Chains A and B, each alone.
Chain A
C-alpha cells in the first residue's frame, strides 16, 4: 500500500505559490459536561461566506499537521476526542477547481490526490473518537472530510451537501467513492455519487444527508454547535448509541452490491452514452469498494482521479463550468445595467401555447401586470384560463402560497384590444412564424404604446430587423428567443439588430436575468446560434440518410460528440415538421452550406419516425418511416459521417465568429450547453472540435489558444 507519509508534498505548495487562499485549522479545547476534553478544529480561511473554505495543498498540509499534533496529545491523554467544524455557514467546498485546472502534469495530479488522502485519512487514526460537525455547506472534499471521522452531525440549515465530482468530470477520490458505499449502502451511495450530479448537479439538504445515513445526528441551526458537542459527549460517555441502519451488511454485499452497480451502469449507458468517463470511473471504484481495505480503495482512487485530472474531459468540464458559473452571469457585450428601462407592465401578443408559457414566466418572475391579447375573445379566455390553471397547479404542489397564487392570477388579464397595451413598457410577441404577420402586429402595437416601450420578438427563424421594418422606432426592437419548454430551458438568445439601441439591449439583458434565464447576445443572422448549429447537425444527419445510410448508423456515427440525444431522437423531440422547417430556412439563407432534405418532408407528412409503446418508450424505428427514406444508393460509414459533421460544425462556427454573430467561441459553447444540452465534459462543442482536429482541417487553426485539453493527451 502507498505510505503517504513518505511522499514529499512540499512541491505542491511551491506550485500553488502565494495564490492559495489557505483554509487554516484552528484548535480550541472544549471542556464537555462529562468533564472530558474535546479538541475542536475549526476550518476557516478568514474570508466571509462569499469565499468558502477550499482545500488546497497548503490547507491540507496544515490540516494534516494539526491532526498529527492532536494524535500526540491524544496519546498523552490530554484530549478525549477530536471534532472538526467550519466557519459560519460553511464546512468546506472541496478542492479549489481553478487550482485543479492548473495542474501541469499527471505526476503532480497524482501527488495532489495522494495529499488529500494523506491529510483527510488522519482523522480515522487519532486514537480517540473523532467527529465532524457539518455546520454548513459541504461539497466534494468538504463532505469527504466527514467521511473519515468516526461520527458526524449536520446542521439542519446546511444549504447544500454533495459529492458533485462526477458532474465536473471527476470522481469523489478523497475517500468518497470507497467509504460512502460502505457507510450508507451501495444504492444510496450511487444516488449521491452518480445520480444527483447527473441531475443538473442536484445537492442534498441536511435532512436528506441524515436520512441517507451520511450524518448520525441532525440539529437545528439555532444551537447547532452546542447540541453537537453535547451529543458528542453522549457518544463518549456511552449514553448515546449510534445506529446506522443503512450500513451494508453481508447480505447486501453478497446479493445486492454487484446488481446495483450493473443496473446503474445500464441506466447510465442508456441515458448519457459511454462518452463521459467520470461516471463510469466512479462506478468501477464503487464496485471495487465492496471488499478489501480502505487503503486499497484509496490507492485505486489515486490512480483513477489522477488520470481524470490529467485528461481532456476534466479540462473541458471546468471550461464549461466557468462558462455557466461566470460568463453566463456577466454576458459578453451587455451594456451598463443602469441604462435598462423599468419593466412595470408586460404585453404578450398571442394567447396560444407559447404565448401563454411566456406570460406565465413573466408574471411569475417579474410580478407585474401581464396583458395577453389575441384575435378573438375565445382564444384570449382560453389563454388566461390556461395561465390561471398553471398558477393553481403551482399552488397545488406547494410551490407558492395561496396569497401568492391570488396575486399572480390577479396580475394576468386578457384583451382583444391592443389599446390595452398603452401603459406596457415591454411587449413581446409569440404569434405565427410569418414575417408579414409579425410586422403588422408590431406596427399595430406601436400605435398604442409609448415611444420608449421595448418591443421583443420570440422569433426563431426570421430576421428581427425585417420584423421591425414597419416600425417608426425600430431602435426599441430586440429579439428575445426562448427555448422550449420555456419554464425549464435556461437560455435566451437576445438578438441585436443594427437599429437596436443600448437602452433596449440593456433592458432585454436585465429582463432575461430577472426571468432567471441566462442571456447571450447574438447578431441578427439566420438561426442565431443554437438553431443554426442544430441545422448543421440535422442537415448532415439527413444528408447521410438520404444517401442511403441507415438512421441507426447515423445515430451511432454522431455518438462521440456525447450529445444528450441522437439525431433521430432530437427530430422526434422537436417534431419532424419543425425539423424540416429549420432545414428549409437555413438552406434558403445559405444554400451551399445547409442541406435541405426531401425525405424529411416526407417523414413530416407521414408523421412519425420512432416506434413507441403506450408509455411513450422508444422501441425502435417505425418501419413505414424507414421505408419512406429508403432508396439511397451511397451509404456512408460512421467515420465519414462524423468527420463531415465535425467539419461542418467547425466551418459554421468559424463563419459565425468571423461574422460577429457572438463575441467569442465561449458564447457559442454557452448557447449549446444551455440551449441544446451539449455536454459539459466536451466543453460544449468548440473544445471538442479543436481536440479532434476539425478546426485545424477546416481553417488551419484552433478556436482556443491553447486548446482546452488534458495535460497528457
Chain B
C-alpha cells in the first residue's frame, strides 16, 4: 500500500566542472563516464548503502544522444557497477534536469514506492553543443507560439534587462564579480572541494587528474567585465562575464525515505519540504524561478521570509537579480549563494540542479541557525524550478544566538 514518507537528501557529489570544447579538460572524457564517476564517488562516500536496495537511478541530460544517450540512467547504473536488478531512466528538463530527477524520485519516495534513489545529471557541452541536433517545430514561429529569442538563452536574458530597466548592466557585472570572489573564498576555505570527485583525464601530455573547476576567474575586475563584448545584441548587457559559460560536468545525489535513512544509519543532510515547477513566456525564461518559488512556498505553507539560504543557479546574473528584486532582497544579501555560483564554477546544463543541493546541504551542516533553504533555477523554453529544504541540524537556540 502506498503511504506517505519523509524524503531526505542523504548526500551529493559532483565532478569538477570543465570548460566545454577541444581545449577543455574533459574533451577526451565521455559524458557517461563523468556521471558514472560521480555515482561511484557518491556510493564510496556512503558505504552503508546496500547497492541492491537502490530503487532508481534517474539521470538527466539535455541532449540525449551519443555518449549521453542510450537511457543514461540505466547505462550509468550498469557502468557504475550497481547490481543489474537496479533500474534507471533518463530525464530532461534542460537546465533543471538534475533538479527534476531529484524531484521526481522524491515524489516516488514520498508516495512510499521507493526507499532509496540516485538522482543526477550530466552535460558535456563540448560533445553536445547547445541546440545540436534540434529540429524545432515550424509552428513555434509561424504561429508565434514563442518569440524569436526563445531558443537563444542570451537573448532571453537581454529581455529581462528590457523588462526591468532598474536591473542595469552595472548591477549584473557587480553581481558576477561577487560570484567569482565568493567562489574563490569558498575554495580557499576548502568548502567546494569537499563534494568533488576527482576525474582522471586524458590529455596530450598524458593522464592528468581534474580536481577543481576549470573556468573560475578569481582575478576578475569590474573594469574587465565592463570591457567584454555583448554577443547577443550590439551595445547589449549580457556578456561572457555576467553569464555562466559552456561547461562539461556531472552530478549525483542520494535521496531516501526518512525511515530508510534511519534503518541504514545514514545521516540526512536535508529534508525535502516542497518542490514546484512553473512556466513563463519562453522568450524571457530567466524569470521562471519566481512563479516556481511562489508555488513551492504555497505548497510548503511558508513565506519568503522563512527562507534563510538561497542556492540560485546563476545562468545569468540578471536572472538572479530579477528574482531578488521581486522579493526585495538585496543584490549582495549574504543569504544568497554564499559560496558563489554558476558564473564562477560553470553550468553544465542538466547537471546543475544537484550542485545547488550539494552546496545548500553543506551550508546546512555548518549553519544550525538556518531552518529553511531553497534551490532554484531557470529553465529554457520558459520554466523555473524550486525545491525547498529543511535543515535537520536546525537548532532554535542557535537561531536565537545568530
The CA of A220 and the CA of B211, in the complex, are separated in Å by 20
**Does B36 contact A31, Cβ atoms closer than 8 Å?**
no
Known: A40-B206, A41-B206, A85-B207. A222 touches B198 (CB 8 A): no
Partner of A222, one of B81, B206, B207: B81
- Which residues of chain B from 270 to 321 have any CB-CB distance to chain A below 8 Å in the complex? none
Q: Is A5 an interface residue (CB 8 A)?
A: no
Decide if B203 is an interface residue (CB 8 Å cutoff).
yes
A220 close to B207 (CB less than 8 A): no
CB closest chain-B residue, reference A40: B207
Report if A225 contacts B (CB, 8 A).
yes
Q: How far, in whole Å, are A26 and B198 apart by their CA atoms in the complex? A: 20
Contact indicator A225/B206 (Cβ below 8 Å): no
Whether B206 contacts A26 by the Cβ 8 Å rule is yes
CB distance from B211 to the nearest CB of A (A): 6
CA of A40 to CA of B211, assembled, Å: 15
**Do B207 and A225 have beta carbons less than 8 Å apart?**
yes
Q: In A23-41, which residues have CB < 8 Å from any B CB? A: 26-28, 30-31, 40-41
Q: How far is the CA of A223 from the CA of B79 in the complex (A)?
A: 11
Residue contact B80 to A42, C-beta cutoff 8 Å? no
Is the CB of A44 closer than 8 A to any CB of chain B? Answer: yes
A477 to B209, CA, bound (A): 61
From A26, A88, A226, B209 is in contact (CB under 8 Å) with A226
The answer to whether B81 touches A42 (Cβ under 8 A) is no
| B79/A222 in contact, CB under 8 A | yes
Contact pick for A27, options B37, B200, B202, B206, CB 8 Å: B206
Q: How far is the CB of B376 from chain A (nearest CB, A)?
A: 32
Given A27-B206, A28-B203, A28-B206, is A223 in contact with B40 using a C-beta cutoff of 8 Å? yes
Digitize B37-48: 1 where CB-to-A-CB distance is under 8 Å, 0 elsewhere.
100110000000
Q: Is the CB of A30 within 8 A of B37?
A: no
Of the residues B40, B79, B202, B211, contact of A31 by C-beta under 8 Å = B211
What's the least CB distance linking B39 to chain A, in Å? 9
Residues of B within 8 A of A225 (CB): 200, 207, 209
* Contact of A26 with B79 in the complex, beta carbons under 8 Å: no
How far in angstroms is the closest Cβ of chain A from B31?
15
Residues of B within 8 A of A31 (CB): 209, 211
Complex: how many Å from CA A222 to CA B34?
10
- Interface flag for A229 (CB, 8 Å): yes
Residues 35-58 of A, flagged 1 when their CB comes within 8 A of B and 0 if not, give 000001110100000000000000
> 8 Å CB contacts to A: which residues of B176-221?
197-200, 202-209, 211
Evaluate whether A26 and B81 lie within 8 angstroms (CB atoms) in the complex, with A226-B37, A226-B200 already known.
no
**Binary B-proximity of A73-91 (CB < 8 A = 1, otherwise 0):** 0000000000001001000
Give Cα A235 to B211, complex, Å.
20
In the bound complex, residues from chain B placing their C-beta under 8 Å from that of A226 are: 37, 197-200, 209
CB distance from B78 to the nearest CB of A (A): 11
Task: State how many angstroms separate the Cβ of B86 from the closest Cβ of chain A.
Answer: 15
Determine whether the beta carbon of A30 is less than 8 Å from that of B209: yes
Report yes or no: A27 in contact with B205, Cβ–Cβ below 8 A.
Answer: yes
B-chain residues with CB within 8 Å of residue A88 when the two chains form the complex: 202
> How near does chain B come to A31, taking the closest CB pair, in angstroms?
6
Contacts of B198 in A (CB 8 A): 226, 229-230
CA distance A222 to B32 in the complex (A): 11
Q: Which residue of chain A has the shortest Cβ distance to B207 in the bound complex?
A: A42
A28 and B208 within 8 A (CB) = yes
Q: Could you give, for residues 215-234 of chain A, a 1 whenever the CB lies within 8 Å of some chain B CB and a 0 otherwise? A: 00000101111100110000
B200 nearest CB neighbor, chain A only: A225
**Contact status A222-B205, CB under 8 Å:** no
Q: Quick one: which of B40, B79, B81, B205 contacts A28, CB cutoff 8 A?
A: B205
Contact of B208 (CB < 8 Å), options: A40, A222, A224: A40
Query: Chain A contacts of B211 at CB under 8 A?
Result: 31
Q: In the complex the two chains form, what is the Cα distance from A44 to B40 in whole Å?
A: 27
Chain A positions within 8 Å of B80 at CB level: 222
Measured between alpha carbons, how far is A44 from B28 in the docked complex, in Å? Answer: 15
- B202 partner residues in chain A, CB cutoff 8 A: 88
**Which residues of A in the span 186-241 have a Cβ within 8 Å of any Cβ on B?**
220, 222-226, 229-230
Contacts of A28 in B (CB 8 A): 203, 205-208
Contacts of B40 in A (CB 8 A): 222-223
Contacts of A224 on B, CB cut-off 8 Å?
A: 200
Q: Name the A residues within 8 Å of B204 (CB-CB).
A: 26
Contacts of A85 in B (CB 8 A): 207
Report the nearest A residue to B210, measured CB to CB: A226
Determine which residue in B79, B81, B205 has the highest number of CB atoms from chain A within 10 A of its CB, and name it. Answer: B205
Known A28-B205, A230-B198; further 7 A-B contacts with Cβ < 8 A? A26-B205, A30-B209, A31-B211, A40-B206, A42-B207, A44-B206, A226-B200
User: 22 A-B pairs, CB-CB below 8 angstroms?
Assistant: A26-B204, A26-B205, A27-B205, A27-B206, A28-B203, A28-B207, A40-B207, A40-B209, A42-B205, A42-B207, A44-B206, A88-B202, A220-B81, A222-B36, A222-B37, A222-B79, A223-B200, A225-B207, A226-B198, A226-B199, A226-B209, A229-B209
Instruction: Rank and list the top 5 A-B pairs by shortest CB-CB distance, nearest first.
Output: A42-B206, A26-B206, A225-B200, A28-B208, A30-B209
Interface residues in chain A, defined as those with a beta carbon under 8 Å from any beta carbon in chain B: 26-28, 30-31, 40-42, 44, 85, 88, 220, 222-226, 229-230
